[in-house]
Amino acid sequence: MSSDSKYNSVTENMNKLNSSCNCFTNKKVLPKGLHRFEDPAHALKSQQLMNVLKEVVENGVPYLGTSAGSNIGGLNMQNTNDMPIVYPPSFNTLELIPFNINAHYLDPAPNSKHNGETRETRIKEFHVFNKVPVLGLREGSWIRVKGDRVTTEGMFSSRVFLPELPPYEIQPGSVCAFETRQNPL
């Protein structure tokens, strides 16, 4: 199947799954967060589109994911902010970048009376069982992939979480090469 045929197949099937997605316009992939764990990851898995989408993007179709749409660009969906209301056949995603994204990352409010967990706490809990690096991506920030180079962009710093290491900040324009700093199992 040609790249155009694969793109058209993914476009047609994703638009059937969720007409509000507008995922595909002018040979670009634009998946958005849809406030439900099942979309877009579950939808892509249930229609066997995850690998096709990955191939389409790796063959040069630009990909701009927002919210859950950015999460599926990482290695897996195991550290999202959403409750898993459906169980996908696999938590693996597109693996377009060598780490996971925690979209909408918020810092703990210093004077908050909230006794629940923070994003940082949840990511540290994720690292008890997983060695995948996580990038806490604040609102107004994004990552750019050009060839093998992955950088942070936008107005705010991003927070890097690696297993067994304290989190740290990287500034916009930084190369995301932190996966090489992770502690091997």
Active site annotation includes 67: yes
Active site annotation includes 107: no
H/E segment holding residue 56: helix 50-58
140 is written with which tokens? 């107004």
Tell me which of 3, 104, 157, 174 is the catalytic residue: 104
User: Within its chain, how far is the Cα of 107 from the centroid?
Assistant: 19
User: Within its chain, how far is the Cα of 25 from the centroid?
Assistant: 20
Active site annotation includes 35: no
3-state SS of 133-175? CEEEECCCEEEEEECCEEEEEECCCEEEECCCCCCEEECCCCE
Q: Which one, of 48, 143, 33, lies nearest residue 133 by Cα?
A: 143
Tell me which of 39, 42, 70, 82 is the catalytic residue: 82
Distance CA 137, CA 157 (A): 8
Tell me which of 39, 42, 67, 70 is the catalytic residue: 67
136 is written with which tokens? 């806490």
For the packed helices 3-17 and 50-58, what is the interaxial angle rounded to 10 degrees? 130
Give me the active site residues, please: 67, 82, 104
